[in-house]
Chain A
């Protein structure tokens, strides 16, 4: 499968714990996005990488959230001290040209209990 891959697919964690998600983009794509989606809403932008550089972060992004893309290939998204409001689907997408849109992975569904 040469699509965008995300791991894990599901994560249940207790409030206050840290979680980390991984995204492996399509191999030739240098652009990588993280989004969050809750029920009934469209995906909400979190952050953007071009190669290893994080070029944009949402102003709404709490400092508990951090993302990396150390070698310009896979990326990780970490949430520290999780809160119930963090429960959502976390989506990763990749692209080689913004004008051609982006392709999404299947997402990681986070439940904070």
Chain B
């Protein structure tokens, strides 16, 4: 099983739609989880951390399910400006690195 798996998409959704991405991870000792956003040919930018209790930031909601080893990102009322690649990231025990998934591409269509 790969360390982290994301559906590469693309997810093509109309403006105003709700869209959700999942990301599974294999290391049960993973400690911290994040979603990053990356625009084409730009650097990744931290979108939000992910907590077991779930957390919300405006139209974005992130959730962690440790039992099933996945994290999710829900985007409500999609905007054109949400078009980007969304990367799931985690830290593991015994390593200092942040491990990135390959990303899920989202295109919001007018």
Contacts and interface: CB of A to CB of B under 8 A. Distances in A.
A98 B46 contact: no
Interface string B70-87: 000000000000000001
A105 B43 contact: yes
A55 B94 CA distance: 11
Contacts of B91: 98-99
A21 interface: no
Interface string B24-49: 00000001101010000011111001
Contacts of B101: 42
Contacts of A44: 100
B46 A40 contact: no
A35 B43 CA distance: 11
Interface residues of A, number: 26
A65 interface: no
A16 to B, nearest CB: 27
Contact of A50 (B32, B96, B100, B102): B96
25 contacts: A31-B96, A41-B102, A42-B87, A42-B101, A42-B102, A42-B103, A43-B44, A43-B87, A44-B100, A45-B97, A48-B96, A56-B96, A56-B97, A58-B97, A91-B44, A93-B98, A98-B96, A99-B49, A99-B91, A101-B46, A102-B98, A103-B46, A104-B43, A104-B45, A105-B43
